Structure 1
Amino acid sequence: MQQYPRIAAIDLGSNSFHLLIARATSRGYRVLTRHRQKVRLADGLTAELHVNNAAIERGMDCLESFAELIKSYQPIHVRCVATATLRLAKNRTQLLQHFEAALGFPIDVISGTTEAGLIYQGATAELHCHRQAMLVLDIGGASTEVIAGVDTEPHVLKSLDMGCVVWQNRYFSDKAITQAQFDAAIQAAAALIQPLADTYKTHGWQSVCGASGTFRALQDCLREQGRTEMTADFIHQCMQASIAKGSREHLHELGIRDDRIAVFCGGLAILIALVKVLDIQSIDLARGALREGLVHTMLAERQRALA
């Protein structure tokens, strides 16, 4: 057995597919390569909860490219997990057959609770704060994870049935951006969060971090404005600036990367609901997310096997 082997973690999200290949070290791991592709699997989810052929093809193309990278790096351990869209899809068996054939490795469709735990671990693994209470948010394509914990230990884990792709298609499908659209999207998201508000507020937190593309898009907006703090006021200002642009075609003027524009308003509406219902004042960008959590889990399992 290699002393410091290479491992690969793959996250089949509802918006993007991610591949992280790393080498184990005496202090954890070193990233060798990362790859992300906007597959937007949830975009192909029909009203009957079947993922359409176009989305399946996009997923297979991505996984075939991941397979080539894995072959090149030759990790000794590969783990692939799938999240909300695969949990929902009624043609999941068909999807898994196609995706596993393209990738060459088995795919584990994980529960929302397991997903939330991995996200929390990935977001907090590099923290050096003793006994700090944390709130971690991850707005995915078809689900949103809200996790409260202390240091690297999650205590309250919830996965909600809303995501940036689903909300974008439901409330901003015509590419227009209006206050009425945002109001409807925020109200719908708030209705899902409100029953959990007391639980999270009782737990409390000293800091909040965001671990998904919505937060990276807002980070781009911060840089464009020469600002550094992602406050609640700034998040609301981004909504008003988006409405002022009036159309998705003009969002790049806010500093948002082209590959994040397509689902930006859907994710932003969900975030505004989270900020409002949970009374969040400011948010930091997390260093890691699900795939980093998966790597830490794989390394911990390896250590137990060697003990």
Structure 2
Amino acid sequence: MFACIDLGSNSFHLLIARQINGKHEIVERFSEKVQLGAGLMSNGLIQPDAFERGLACLKDFAAAMEAHPVKHIWAVGTNALRVAKNSADFLAAAAELGIDIDVVSGEEEAALVYTGVSSALPVLSESQLVVDIGGGSTEVVIGRGMQRDAVFSLPIGCVSWRDKWFADVAHDAHSVTAQLSAASEDARQVFGQAAEQLSGKRWLSVRASSGTAKMLSQICTARESGNSSAEGVSLDTLQSLQGDVVRTAIDPEYELPGLKPSRRELVLPGWSVLLGFMQAFHVETLAFSPAALREGMLYYMREGSLRNEAPLHVLKAS
């Protein structure tokens, strides 16, 4: 059995799977909003409360893995553990729990995301653009099938954008609208750097993975069809939601259809980041992908077990 641990800047995830007749079957999925990257922009450190939340979550994950005959474990740390000055302290504390963490580069993270998204699709020859908005970074990849053509990891995410633009949210609609506009324009400029480098490339489909994309897909789908199953986002619908997103920030009694209460604090930064991406890349519609980094990890873990190699070595060699 395989266990994939994804230590994101917003959430920690655990996926446990078994291999049967050459295919994998998901046995358990766990997810917890740890927000390891919260406050990281202030002093470059994982904050004490986030540090403790992270270790508590890893203890729960260790207990969950003990309930299964797991033979292969891979834990991957992403942006927060890449940039925090005290990440070595967290890695050491995790090792004491029996969990050794590989901190991957932004490009390696992007490769894992793209592989996870692509592995869940039929074999396609068409070009696709894949975006994964995380807590501290966003990965953008263009490729065809399982082949990556261009990879970007950008310093923008829902948690870091919350800390940068919405640490103090105004109490009136006009001011919040101004904050939202400034944050989305800043995001558009960040994504514009990558979009400019890809200006000569074309893609036929766009897919977005992870929590921010799921949140906004559910909100957009609820707006369009009256239910909140995560399907996708259109630029027109996303823009039409601006007033509702602002109201969510200033009216604690307002419930935005499709938005889970646990994601409420991230709807302002999430909306602005996704809008900035879609505008920079001239994306009119995108599909939500339920598969992401963890499925990419599982793919490389299976490859590594076949080659008798560590999965990170397989990833770097591919």
**TM > 0.5 fold call:** yes
Residues 90-130 of structure 1, C-alpha deviation per residue, up to 9 Å, x if partnerless? 1111111122223x121011000000000000011122143
Letter in 2 for 1:220: Q
CA contact 1:43–1:55 (8 Å) conserved in 2? yes
State the AA in 2 paired with 1:61.
Answer: A
Deviation at 1:25, TM superposition (A): 2.3
What is the match of residue 167 of structure 2? 173
Q: One-letter code of the match for 1:167?
A: W
Q: Distance in 2 between matches of 1:148 and 1:71?
A: 38
Q: Which moved more, 1:164-173 or 1:108-117?
A: 164-173
1:29 is aligned to 2:27: no
- 1:62-81 equivalent positions in 2, closer than 5 A: 62-81=57-76
Bigger mean CA deviation after superposition, 246-255 or 18-27 = 246-255
Q: Distance in 1 between matches of 2:232 and 2:55?
A: 39
2:125 to 131, 134, 159: 131
Among candidates 138, 147, 158, match of residue 153 of structure 1: 147
Q: What is the Cα deviation at residue 238 of structure 1? A: 2.1
* Equivalent residue pairs, number: 300
Q: Does the 8 Å CA contact 2:9/2:78 hold for their aligned counterparts?
A: yes
**Quick one: which amino acid aligns to residue 150 of structure 1?**
R
Structure 2 residue 261 is matched with structure 1 residue 258:
yes
Three-state SS of the structure 2 residue aligned to 1:134 is: strand
Does 2:291 correspond to 1:291? no
**Alignment match of 2:189 (pick from 172, 191, 202):** 191
Identity over aligned residues, as a percent? 32
Cα deviation 1:256-287 (Å, max 9, x = unaligned)? 01121121211211111111111001010113
- Counterparts in 2 of 1:126 and 1:229: CA distance versus 1, 3 Å: closer
After superposition, where does 1:215-230 map in structure 2 within 5 Å?
Answer: 215-227=213-225, 230=233
Q: Is the 8 A contact 2:247 2:254 kept in 1?
A: no
Provide the secondary structure at the position in 2 that maps to 1:47. Answer: helix
What 5-or-longer segments of structure 1 have no aligned partner? Answer: 1-5
Counterparts of 1:234 and 1:148, CA distance in 2: 24
Higher mean Cα deviation, 255-264 or 155-164? 255-264
CA deviations on 1:120-148 (whole Å, 9 max, x unpaired) are 00011122143111111111011011111
Q: Which amino acid is 1:21 matched to?
A: I
The match for 1:107 is 101
The question of whether the paired residues in 1 share the 8 Å contact of 2:130 and 2:142 is answered with yes
1:301 to 301, 304, 310: 304
Q: Which moved more, 1:20-29 or 1:77-86?
A: 20-29
**TM-score (ref. length: structure 2):** 0.89
SS at match of 1:20: strand
Name the SS of the counterpart of 2:43 in structure 1: coil
Tell me the CA shift for residue 183 of structure 1.
Answer: 1.5
Q: TM-score if structure 1 supplies the norm length?
A: 0.92
Q: Which residue of 2 aligns with 1:3?
A: none
What amino acid is aligned across from residue 265 of structure 1 in structure 2?
A: L
Compared CA separation, residues 25 and 200, structure 1 to 2 (3 A): farther
| Counterpart check, 1:90 vs 2:85 | yes
Match of 2:270 in 1: 267
User: What does residue 35 of structure 2 align with?
Assistant: 40
Q: Label 1:152 to 1:248 Cα distance change in 2 as closer, same or farther (>3 A).
A: farther
The C-alpha deviation readout for 1:7-40, integer Å capped at 9, x for no partner, is 0000000000000000012242100000000000
> What code does the residue aligned with 1:134 have?
Q
Deviations 1:180-217 (A, max 9, x none): 11111112212222122133232211111110111111
Q: Which runs of 5+ in 2 are unaligned?
A: 226-230, 310-318
